[in-house]
Protein backbone atom coordinates (compact mmCIF):
# COMPACT_ATOMS: atom_id res chain seq x y z
CA UNK A 1 0.00 0.00 0.00
CA UNK A 2 0.91 3.64 -0.19
CA UNK A 3 3.37 4.98 2.33
CA UNK A 4 3.60 8.42 3.87
CA UNK A 5 3.77 11.11 1.21
CA UNK A 6 4.95 14.68 1.54
CA UNK A 7 4.61 17.63 -0.77
CA UNK A 8 6.42 19.48 -2.09
CA UNK A 9 9.63 17.49 -2.18
CA UNK A 10 11.61 20.72 -2.41
CA UNK A 11 10.68 24.25 -1.48
CA UNK A 12 12.82 27.33 -1.99
CA UNK A 13 11.59 30.56 -0.48
CA UNK A 14 12.86 33.96 0.49
CA UNK A 15 13.47 35.14 4.02
CA UNK A 16 10.29 36.52 5.54
CA UNK A 17 7.89 34.50 3.39
CA UNK A 18 5.20 32.08 4.56
CA UNK A 19 5.36 28.37 3.64
CA UNK A 20 3.12 25.36 4.02
CA UNK A 21 4.34 21.77 3.99
CA UNK A 22 1.89 18.93 3.52
CA UNK A 23 1.88 15.38 4.85
CA UNK A 24 -0.39 12.52 3.82
CA UNK A 25 -0.05 9.72 6.39
CA UNK A 26 -0.68 6.04 5.82
CA UNK A 27 -4.42 5.42 5.66
CA UNK A 28 -5.82 4.47 9.03
CA UNK A 29 -2.87 5.75 11.05
CA UNK A 30 -4.16 8.02 13.78
CA UNK A 31 -0.80 9.19 15.11
CA UNK A 32 1.20 11.72 13.07
CA UNK A 33 4.55 13.29 13.82
CA UNK A 34 6.59 16.13 12.37
CA UNK A 35 10.39 16.19 12.67
CA UNK A 36 13.08 18.53 11.39
CA UNK A 37 16.42 17.19 10.19
CA UNK A 38 19.43 19.41 9.67
CA UNK A 39 22.38 18.29 7.58
CA UNK A 40 24.42 15.63 9.34
CA UNK A 41 22.02 15.35 12.25
CA UNK A 42 19.30 13.03 13.42
CA UNK A 43 15.66 14.10 13.20
CA UNK A 44 14.46 16.53 15.85
CA UNK A 45 10.91 16.15 17.19
CA UNK A 46 8.54 19.03 16.48
CA UNK A 47 4.94 17.98 17.13
CA UNK A 48 2.73 14.92 17.60
CA UNK A 49 -0.94 14.54 16.67
CA UNK A 50 -3.29 11.88 17.94
CA UNK A 51 -6.32 12.23 15.68
CA UNK A 52 -7.13 15.87 15.07
CA UNK A 53 -5.52 17.29 18.18
CA UNK A 54 -1.91 18.19 18.84
CA UNK A 55 -1.07 15.96 21.78
CA UNK A 56 2.44 17.38 22.15
CA UNK A 57 3.82 20.49 20.45
CA UNK A 58 6.75 20.93 22.79
CA UNK A 59 9.27 20.62 19.96
CA UNK A 60 8.07 23.58 17.94
CA UNK A 61 10.94 26.07 18.13
CA UNK A 62 8.84 29.25 18.37
CA UNK A 63 5.45 30.72 17.53
CA UNK A 64 6.32 31.09 13.84
CA UNK A 65 5.73 27.36 13.53
CA UNK A 66 2.22 25.91 13.58
CA UNK A 67 0.69 22.64 12.43
CA UNK A 68 -2.86 21.47 11.85
CA UNK A 69 -4.63 18.21 11.14
CA UNK A 70 -8.28 19.25 10.83
CA UNK A 71 -9.79 15.93 9.76
CA UNK A 72 -7.39 13.57 11.47
CA UNK A 73 -5.62 12.58 8.27
CA UNK A 74 -3.63 15.11 6.21
CA UNK A 75 -1.48 17.51 8.18
CA UNK A 76 0.02 20.85 7.23
CA UNK A 77 3.07 22.40 8.86
CA UNK A 78 3.00 26.17 8.53
CA UNK A 79 5.99 28.45 8.97
CA UNK A 80 5.55 32.21 9.09
CA UNK A 81 8.22 34.84 8.46
CA UNK A 82 10.75 32.22 7.43
CA UNK A 83 14.38 32.65 8.48
CA UNK A 84 17.54 31.19 6.96
CA UNK A 85 17.90 29.01 10.05
CA UNK A 86 14.65 27.26 9.15
CA UNK A 87 16.39 25.60 6.21
CA UNK A 88 16.27 21.83 6.78
CA UNK A 89 14.49 18.67 5.71
CA UNK A 90 11.06 18.44 7.33
CA UNK A 91 10.01 14.83 7.90
CA UNK A 92 6.56 13.51 8.60
CA UNK A 93 5.84 10.11 10.14
CA UNK A 94 2.72 8.21 11.08
CA UNK A 95 1.91 5.20 13.23
CA UNK A 96 -1.23 3.15 13.80
CA UNK A 97 -3.61 3.42 16.72
CA UNK A 98 -3.41 2.65 19.55
CA UNK A 99 -0.55 5.02 20.01
CA UNK A 100 1.97 4.20 22.61
CA UNK A 101 5.52 3.61 23.40
CA UNK A 102 6.26 0.86 20.94
CA UNK A 103 4.49 1.98 17.80
CA UNK A 104 6.77 1.93 14.79
CA UNK A 105 6.90 5.28 13.06
CA UNK A 106 6.73 5.19 9.25
CA UNK A 107 8.48 8.12 7.63
CA UNK A 108 7.83 10.02 4.45
CA UNK A 109 10.62 11.17 2.11
CA UNK A 110 10.65 14.67 3.58
CA UNK A 111 10.40 18.20 2.23
CA UNK A 112 13.70 20.02 1.75
CA UNK A 113 13.11 23.66 2.69
CA UNK A 114 15.67 26.26 1.62
CA UNK A 115 15.29 29.82 2.83
CA UNK A 116 17.38 32.29 0.84
CA UNK B 1 17.08 16.16 29.16
CA UNK B 2 17.54 12.89 27.34
CA UNK B 3 20.71 12.64 25.29
CA UNK B 4 21.74 9.97 22.78
CA UNK B 5 25.34 9.67 21.65
CA UNK B 6 26.22 7.59 18.62
CA UNK B 7 29.63 6.32 17.47
CA UNK B 8 31.34 6.25 15.08
CA UNK B 9 30.16 9.06 12.83
CA UNK B 10 31.60 7.28 9.80
CA UNK B 11 32.37 3.59 9.40
CA UNK B 12 34.04 2.04 6.37
CA UNK B 13 34.17 -1.77 6.10
CA UNK B 14 35.08 -4.27 3.44
CA UNK B 15 32.18 -6.04 1.78
CA UNK B 16 31.49 -9.26 3.64
CA UNK B 17 32.90 -8.01 6.94
CA UNK B 18 30.85 -7.05 10.00
CA UNK B 19 29.90 -3.54 11.12
CA UNK B 20 29.09 -2.41 14.65
CA UNK B 21 27.52 0.91 15.64
CA UNK B 22 27.13 1.92 19.29
CA UNK B 23 24.83 4.29 21.12
CA UNK B 24 24.58 5.45 24.71
CA UNK B 25 21.63 7.17 26.35
CA UNK B 26 21.02 9.02 29.59
CA UNK B 27 17.36 8.52 30.58
CA UNK B 28 16.96 5.39 32.70
CA UNK B 29 13.20 5.45 31.93
CA UNK B 30 13.81 4.80 28.21
CA UNK B 31 12.36 1.43 27.22
CA UNK B 32 12.23 1.39 23.42
CA UNK B 33 15.33 1.40 21.19
CA UNK B 34 14.81 1.46 17.41
CA UNK B 35 17.41 1.60 14.67
CA UNK B 36 16.66 3.38 11.41
CA UNK B 37 18.39 3.29 8.03
CA UNK B 38 18.29 6.41 5.86
CA UNK B 39 19.29 6.39 2.22
CA UNK B 40 20.06 9.56 0.33
CA UNK B 41 16.93 11.59 -0.39
CA UNK B 42 14.66 9.28 1.58
CA UNK B 43 13.09 9.24 4.99
CA UNK B 44 14.39 6.96 7.76
CA UNK B 45 13.21 3.35 7.65
CA UNK B 46 12.98 1.14 10.72
CA UNK B 47 15.26 -1.89 10.40
CA UNK B 48 15.10 -3.37 13.89
CA UNK B 49 14.01 -2.40 17.38
CA UNK B 50 14.35 -3.77 20.88
CA UNK B 51 12.37 -3.36 24.07
CA UNK B 52 13.88 -2.97 27.51
CA UNK B 53 12.86 -6.45 28.64
CA UNK B 54 15.01 -8.06 25.96
CA UNK B 55 18.82 -8.15 25.83
CA UNK B 56 19.32 -9.15 22.22
CA UNK B 57 17.30 -9.45 19.04
CA UNK B 58 18.31 -10.78 15.65
CA UNK B 59 16.77 -10.54 12.20
CA UNK B 60 18.81 -12.29 9.51
CA UNK B 61 22.07 -10.32 9.14
CA UNK B 62 21.06 -7.62 11.61
CA UNK B 63 21.17 -7.84 15.40
CA UNK B 64 20.76 -5.38 18.24
CA UNK B 65 22.03 -5.76 21.81
CA UNK B 66 20.92 -3.76 24.83
CA UNK B 67 22.67 -3.25 28.16
CA UNK B 68 20.27 -1.30 30.38
CA UNK B 69 22.67 -1.19 33.31
CA UNK B 70 25.32 0.54 31.25
CA UNK B 71 22.71 2.43 29.17
CA UNK B 72 24.05 1.43 25.81
CA UNK B 73 22.82 -0.48 22.79
CA UNK B 74 24.51 -1.58 19.60
CA UNK B 75 23.66 -2.50 16.02
CA UNK B 76 25.51 -5.39 14.42
CA UNK B 77 25.44 -6.06 10.69
CA UNK B 78 27.13 -9.24 9.48
CA UNK B 79 28.17 -10.21 5.95
CA UNK B 80 27.83 -6.61 4.79
CA UNK B 81 26.67 -5.94 1.24
CA UNK B 82 26.88 -2.82 -0.98
CA UNK B 83 23.19 -2.10 -0.38
CA UNK B 84 23.93 -1.72 3.33
CA UNK B 85 25.66 1.59 2.54
CA UNK B 86 23.52 4.32 4.15
CA UNK B 87 23.26 6.47 7.27
CA UNK B 88 22.10 4.59 10.35
CA UNK B 89 20.41 6.26 13.31
CA UNK B 90 19.77 4.94 16.78
CA UNK B 91 16.94 6.42 18.82
CA UNK B 92 15.18 6.00 22.11
CA UNK B 93 11.98 7.28 23.66
CA UNK B 94 11.82 10.17 26.10
CA UNK B 95 10.01 9.65 29.39
CA UNK B 96 8.71 6.28 28.19
CA UNK B 97 6.44 7.83 25.56
CA UNK B 98 6.22 8.21 21.80
CA UNK B 99 8.74 11.04 21.41
CA UNK B 100 11.94 9.69 19.87
CA UNK B 101 15.34 11.18 20.66
CA UNK B 102 17.87 10.44 17.93
CA UNK B 103 21.59 9.97 17.68
CA UNK B 104 23.55 12.02 15.15
CA UNK B 105 23.88 9.13 12.73
CA UNK B 106 26.61 6.85 11.37
CA UNK B 107 27.51 6.90 7.70
CA UNK B 108 28.26 3.29 6.77
CA UNK B 109 30.39 2.76 3.67
CA UNK B 110 30.78 -0.74 2.25
CA UNK B 111 33.91 -1.05 0.15
CA UNK B 112 33.73 -3.55 -2.73
Chain A contact for B34 (CB, 8 A cutoff): yes
Instruction: Please report, for residues A13, A52, A84, B93, the alpha-carbon distance to residue A104 in angstroms, rounded to integers and kept in the order given.
Output: 33, 20, 32, 12
Which chain B residues contact residue A99 at CB under 8 A? 98
3 state SS of B65 = strand
> In tens digits, what is the pLDDT along chain B, a chain of 112 residues?
678 999 999 999 999 999 999 999 998 888 889 999 999 989 999 999 998 877 999 999 999 999 999 999 999 999 999 999 999 999 998 765 678 899 999 999 999 9
CB contact under 8 A, A110 and B97: no
Distance from CA of B51 to the nearest CA of A (A): 8
Amino acid sequence: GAGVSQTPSNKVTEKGKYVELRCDPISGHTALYWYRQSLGQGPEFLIYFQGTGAADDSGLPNDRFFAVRPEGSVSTLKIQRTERGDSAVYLCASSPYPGGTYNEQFFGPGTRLTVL
Amino acid sequence: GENVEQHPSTLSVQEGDSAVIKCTYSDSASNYFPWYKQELGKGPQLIIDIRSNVGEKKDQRIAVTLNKTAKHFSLHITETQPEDSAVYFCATNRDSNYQLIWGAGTKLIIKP
